[in-house]
Structure 1
């Protein structure tokens, strides 16, 4: 059975696209979601690479050096997230305050307002416990008490940076249920729930981003080719939408872009421990929500002010440089 699945993956045809994005960076995408392992295999195939624009081909090959097999590390790790964040620069922050909300930017179908998952220390601690319950389902209370924290040693990619950002110095943070409720009222007529779909896997030199498309049901026909994200958990999916809990479940495959530890799982005493290793660079993945709409997604001035905080700009950031 396993051999059949491997053969199916090898024969699967992928549809990759390459372009320079609005930040003038090489960007590749695949409609729908593709796992990191399948992406690694696909980019080793000349047939797939040739689909990407010729001027970006070398960059497509370049990502492979970050997709090498690595030492044992926590994978996958389930994060249950109920808060989202939109980070921007000071100028755009002033425009958000003036307009009373967030605008969607882009052309036609790709007109979005972009949000990220906000993952704090408590979310990492909870994910660690879920991971341990999965690998050691019958731990005793004594074993649980003896277990030292370890996931925070691996959860070090930009996806977990709360105090800094690659996108600017102003962060707006909202509970996910509040954003979804506001979107439903203003963009879905208040009657039907927003639709969530597996939109794209976007990848760069070291970064892999899974895009969740959020749209009004009136656009179902337009986006019908993208699989719907449902409240169903099955092996192999990257994202689950738990509507009743107002949570996104992200099954992270690569939580560190610079791995400094090896994970050891001791089956005998049902404990996990780590040991330092020579640093190895790897891809890192994360999730973004792309809300599709025209106009402005409005919030009260009080809510905007309350949600607004400042953060440091990451040394490696995505802001345009002056030429």
Structure 2
């Protein structure tokens, strides 16, 4: 693994062109002499490994970023970079669907009656920051369908052709693992050819299929307050509380849209306003947060023609 510091002066250990599952990430980190009190923990209670089909992306920002997005009517790379960053926005419905797939895979004879006793079991494990409604990057969140973003990117940067999706990086922080996907135009194939194409691999952490990202989380809890056990007699899973729950790493998926210097991934004004919501801050905060009242006032100032109330996450 290589090491760098991001613009917030936070240390990043990373592997380019790979999405390393936890066993391989542990081996790679150890061989690189990287110490990490969370990654190397053993005896983590059993937890589910669902397959999530995610159809929306989210982009969190602060007051300054919101003003820029409003003025540009879209998204540009921050701090003279060339990437606009988004992350997966997983809905409760997508978690429920993933739970149903888990049950059907583990118990082929699973019935609808037995399903009722399993409702919301997966939600008990979806507790890492990747699944929470809070934000670490600011009070404002744009949530948009992946299809809309890819269509806008195709029209503005790809001359109408389909964008190229590639395996970008695995980044290890103190407790967070980020699997990033790069989106770029075919005209930049030569620039990014050394990153593997993102394929619909059934064993991959992240894949793309029919307008959705297929995400198979490696660690979805952060704090492991429950353990999952299989109960063949009941044709289902049992979820039991763990006393003194251990902290572990947690993972998420980030999506980086490549834009040239000073270019903007533009959206309709109505798309921007309708997709905007207010977020409370999560720890550790990486930006300044505002109150809901101040946020409402700012949004009304930036979109004076829209009187709809600001949504709260």
Q: What is the TM-score when the length of structure 2 is the normalising length?
A: 0.87
SS in 2 for 1:248: strand
Consecutive unaligned residues in structure 1, runs of 5 or more: 1-15, 50-59
Which residue does 1:249 correspond to in 2? Answer: 214
1:26-45 correspondence runs (5 A): 26-31=11-16, 32-45=18-31
Does 1:173 pair with 2:143? yes
Deviations 1:123-175 (A, max 9, x none): 1111111111222222133322333431111100000012x101111011111
* Structure 1 vs Structure 2 CA RMSD: 1.7
Distance change >3 Å, CA 221–CA 131, structure 1 → 2: same
In structure 1, distance between residues paired with 2:38 and 2:77: 35
In structure 2, distance between residues paired with 1:255 and 1:17: 25
Distance 1:103 1:136 in 2: 47
Say whether the 8 Å CA contact 2:26–2:39 is kept in structure 1: no
- Which residue matches 1:287? 253
1:144 aligns with 2:115: yes
Q: Are the aligned partners of 2:226 and 2:241 in contact in 1 as well (CA < 8 Å)?
A: yes
| Secondary structure of 1:213's aligned partner | strand
Tell me what 2:237 maps to.
272
Partner of 1:9: none
Give the number of aligned pairs: 284
Query: Residue 95 of structure 2: SS of its match in structure 1?
Result: helix
CA contact (8 A) 2:62 2:288 kept: no
Residue 246 of structure 1: how far off its partner (Å)? 0.8
- Alpha-carbon distance in 2 for matches of 1:175, 1:205: 30
Q: What is the rounded CA distance, in whole Å, between the counterparts of 2:83 and 2:116 in structure 1?
A: 45
Where does the alignment leave 5 or more consecutive residues of structure 2 unmatched?
290-313
After superposition, where does 1:1-323 map in structure 2 within 5 Å?
16-31=1-16, 32-45=18-31, 48-49=32-33, 60-61=34-35, 63-69=36-42, 70-75=44-49, 77-105=50-78, 111-162=82-133, 164-190=134-160, 192-230=161-199, 232-235=200-203, 237-242=204-209, 245-277=210-242, 278-294=244-260, 295-319=263-287
Aligned-residue offset at 1:106: 5.7
C-alpha deviation, 1:319, in angstroms: 2.8
Q: Answer yes or no: is the 8 Å Cα contact 1:262–1:275 preserved in 2.
A: yes
- Higher-strand-fraction structure: 1
Moved more, 110-119 or 198-207: 110-119
**CA deviation string 1:67-124 (max 9, x = no partner):** 323111112x1110111111100111011101111002366xx620000111121111
Are the equivalent residues in 1 in contact too, given 2:166–2:182 (CA < 8 A)?
Answer: yes
Which TM-score applies when normalising by structure 1? 0.84
Residues 178, 252 of structure 2: 8 Å contact kept? yes
